[in-house]
Structure 1
Amino acid sequence: MKKNVLGVTLAASIILGGLGMFTSQDASAHGYISSPPSRAYYGALEKNTIGYQAAQQKYGAVINEPQSLETGKGFSKDFGINLFSWETGASGNGPADGKIVSANDALGSQLSVQKDNYWKMNDINSGKLNITWNYTATHATSRWTYYITKNGWNPNSPIKRSDLQLISNVPFTGAQANTNLTHTIDIPADHTGYHVILGVWDVSNTGAAFYQAVDVNIKNGAETTPPKPEKAPTAPTNVKTTDVTTKAATLTWTKVDSAQEYNVYRNNNKIATTSANKITDEQLQENTNYSYQIEAVGTNGLLSEKSTPVNVLTKSSEQKDTQNPTVPTGIHSMETTTSSVDLMWTKSDHFLGVKNYEVFRDGKKIVTTGNTHFKDTGLKADTTYTYTIKAYSLGGNVSPLSQAFTVTTKKEEVISGKTTWDKTKVYNSGDVVFYNGLKYQAKWWTQNEKPEESDAWKSLSPTAVEWNSKKAYTAGERVTFQGKTYKAKWWTKGAQPSTSNVWELV
């Protein structure tokens, strides 16, 4: 019998599950830790017990959106974990110290309040602990990481990086996260009493991550799971391949009793671990033979023998294209600002493969893209837009138009206690305003010129602003573009950061 040497159970399926349609209210919805209930999820639950007003005062706006604690990724870099080469880079290092639990106050600062006996706690033991996420919208994923407060931390001070230690790193393939995903982590045996567990979910194709804090009372250090029988599971059977295209194939097999997950092998190389008995391999070449085997991982960590090999030949693009792709579904917004909507959707299927998508705003085509995400910029604040999408196969066949996704851009809100840009007001050289949460200073007389677009304003915020083709930048100014941060070498206007040598990556 072989022993599984993986330190973390990755109970995940990398097959892309079908996503339902989302209304404008849940367009920004993504995921939260449901078991043990996170601080954010308890807020959503307690509005039904202590009352809406009391819950809102204690937890803030998260009582309506426990799934929306989203800010920049890169938090794991401070703990020695680097980003994968294939994922979109982080624009920073995640939320600031003191704002980690609230994801940089994404829905207000209330969640970052730290007091002993203030938050609702979960009684647990040290040893194995299952952490389960509930996803209202799955996303391409590069990793999950888990942290716990160190012994001797101050429970009456907002949590800082120096208060935390890494306890689990769960790398992923860049495929979609699965619904109700569970990971098994190890709670250190020397930890007792009140502690906070931090779970971070990194999206692979954007610079975003989601942050969830779980308040726990570690009682006695006992293992939470009973001794496991030293018997390996049987090998998976009835392995079949379906939905074979030019670059993908779906595998299914019969579930094995006592198996907690399965290792998938392609040409004798392990390519994935999944808790489901189905997986889609999307990294294939056309007109090529592949051999697959499945290996069961028991609840005791022991491995089964591999299944009988199953062979598959991918389709050739020279084959006649006789059908339409499936309709794009699951359209939602990763982030909506006063002037942009960051769209994502579930990819369409076709037996030869999907070539690209056409995105329509209010019935007019605005872009053709090979990706399943697109950021629509230059929009008006507090305005409702409707998006639909079509998919095209490699042979040029087109899917029906998707269901409509409607979303409203954010209002240009006034920041309490601070001077805020007003399009009707005249500003003179040296005047300082806040716009979309960033600080700007007027260079000369100006009126009705947006700070993020006009050369009349310069940014005073340490946070890099999003690049805008209408705005001029001077040497040293920083911008973000496609999830990466750039610094201008000299004066520039209209030069795209990813293609012009006037910009350098930082």
Structure 2
Amino acid sequence: MSTTSRRRRPTALVVLAAATSLAMLGVAAPAFAHGWIGGSGSELVARQAMPGNGDIGLVQYEPQSLEAPGGFPETGPADGHLASAGIAQFSELDEQTATRWAKNEITPGPHRFGWTYTAPHNTDQWRYYITKNGWNPNEPLKRSSFELLQVVAHDHSAANTNPVHTITIPSDHSGYHVVLAVWEVWDTPNAFYNVVDVDISGSPGSADTQAPTAPTSVRSTATSSSSVGLAWTASTDDRGVTGYRVERATASGAFAQVAQVSGTSTLDAGLVASTAYRYRVAAVDAAGNVSPYSAVLSVTTAAGSGTGAVPAWNPSGAYAKGDRVSHGGVVYEAVLTHQGSGDPGWITARSLWKPVG
């Protein structure tokens, strides 16, 4: 297993200092940590919050506190300590037998994993893993027991802008399995680790052949000389919509996909000033059924001429890839989506901005 996630890590010393101070006071180091699976809209509950699990020690008072270094599986908690995130005060969670833990009863197919956030950090992504067929439930949880199940990408905004994730449990898994969810934070070097015990039985049911309804009310939320913000009204589906395909017309008039998102908005960047663009949106469900397309929306970008038509750089602003700003008489273009990253000259050295004029 591997990941290509890359996150800025400006606060490692701050995190270490806070953890050291808490330890000196006799408090669990991650007491300031902030999230667990089992929130509103969730079909499943993480081990530390699951009813019927008996004595689980101090973690019952801090279900949000399973925090450890990010970058799993290359880094993160040691094998045998994945459930506790390597925190000694929460070691009860690392007990592992086939019968130790109460289980969420589920069938194969899509299920909602909802998070409760006590502090919704800016977020890189969530990654979900599941134990492989043939894993030993009577041995401590280790990396080699898991395979990647699904990645939920995010735009580095607060985690609570995407609190519920539809994760598909594979039909070739049955019986007792463990799902490991890794919430990769963007504004610290850490991640949160939750394990969810599941008993997979039955079948996913009859094949899903019903497509979602078409998205409606596609509209522009903001335009600049180089970007168009889009939003639409959510589609409905008998088993749930998992995402939306956003398409833009090419010069030939044919439409091509420019984004696939889980929410009902997106930003299309890197565009040409004073140019008309045409968009349409379709919904997709877990079975891959695609809805009819929305009505086509035509949007014209703002005029641009030199740095005067480009907004001034805001040191605390949120920027999408392709956005342009002016600073010191130079126009910069965002190479990556980011927020509040300092002077553009400083950012350029870190491949977040590039000068374009």
Q: TM-score range by the shorter chain?
A: 0.5 to 0.7
Partner of 2:127: 144
Residues 94-103 or 293-302, more deviating: 293-302
Give the 4+ runs in structure 1 shifted more than 6 A. 352-356
Q: Say which SS state the counterpart of residue 252 (structure 1) adopts.
A: strand
Gaps of 5+ in 1: 1-25, 77-91, 329-345, 357-369, 375-390, 395-497, 499-506
Bigger-Rg structure (1/2): 1
Q: From 270, 285, 299, give the equivalent of 1:284.
A: 270
Q: Say which SS state the counterpart of residue 310 (structure 1) adopts.
A: strand
Partner of 2:289: 302
Q: What is the rounded CA distance, in whole Å, between the counterparts of 1:300 and 1:102 in structure 2?
A: 34
Q: What is the rounded CA distance, in whole Å, between the counterparts of 1:241 and 1:27 in structure 2?
A: 42
Q: From 244, 248, 260, give the equivalent of 1:273.
A: 260
AA aligned to 1:287 is: A
AA aligned to 1:159 is: L
Q: Say which SS state the counterpart of residue 127 (structure 2) adopts.
A: strand
CA-based RMSD: 4.1
Q: What is the rounded CA distance, in whole Å, between the counterparts of 2:272 and 2:90 in structure 1?
A: 49
TM-score after normalising by structure 1: 0.47
Contact kept in structure 2, 1:262 and 1:295, CA below 8 Å? yes
Cα distance change on mapping 1:305 and 1:195 into 2, 3 Å: closer
1:71 aligned onto 2:68: yes
Instruction: Flag the structure with higher helix content.
Output: 2
Give percent identity, aligned residues only: 29
Superposed counterparts of 1:27-426, under 5 Å: 28-34=32-38, 35=42, 36-42=44-50, 58-60=56-58, 62-76=59-73, 92-105=74-87, 108-136=90-118, 137-155=120-138, 157-166=139-148, 168-170=149-151, 172=153, 174-176=155-157, 177=159, 178-192=161-175, 194-203=176-185, 207-218=189-200, 220-223=201-204, 225-228=205-208, 230-245=209-224, 248-258=227-237, 260=241, 261-267=243-249, 268-277=255-264, 279-281=265-267, 283-285=269-271, 287=273, 289=275, 290-298=277-285, 301-307=288-294, 308-314=296-302, 316=304, 318-319=308-309, 347=318, 372=339
Cα distance change on mapping 1:111 and 1:245 into 2, 3 Å: farther
Deviation sequence 1:393-422 (CA, Å, 0-9, x none): x9xxxxxxxxxxxxxxxxxxxxxxxxxxxx
Contact kept in structure 1, 2:319 and 2:339, CA below 8 Å? no
Contact kept in structure 2, 1:131 and 1:185, CA below 8 Å? no
> 1:153 Cα shift?
0.3
Contact kept in structure 2, 1:134 and 1:179, CA below 8 Å? no
Partner of 2:355: none
Deviation sequence 1:276-324 (CA, Å, 0-9, x none): 33x13164357364443211224653213433143230464524979x9
Cα distance change on mapping 1:242 and 1:129 into 2, 3 Å: closer
Q: What is the rounded CA distance, in whole Å, between the counterparts of 1:127 and 1:33 in structure 2?
A: 18
Q: What is the rounded CA distance, in whole Å, between the counterparts of 1:320 and 1:185 in structure 2?
A: 43
> 1:98 Cα shift?
0.6
TM-score after normalising by structure 2: 0.64
Q: What is the rounded CA distance, in whole Å, between the counterparts of 1:29 and 1:355 in structure 2?
A: 37
Cα distance change on mapping 1:125 and 1:66 into 2, 3 Å: same
Cα distance change on mapping 1:241 and 1:207 into 2, 3 Å: same
AA aligned to 1:104 is: G
Number of aligned residues: 286
Contact kept in structure 2, 1:246 and 1:314, CA below 8 Å? yes
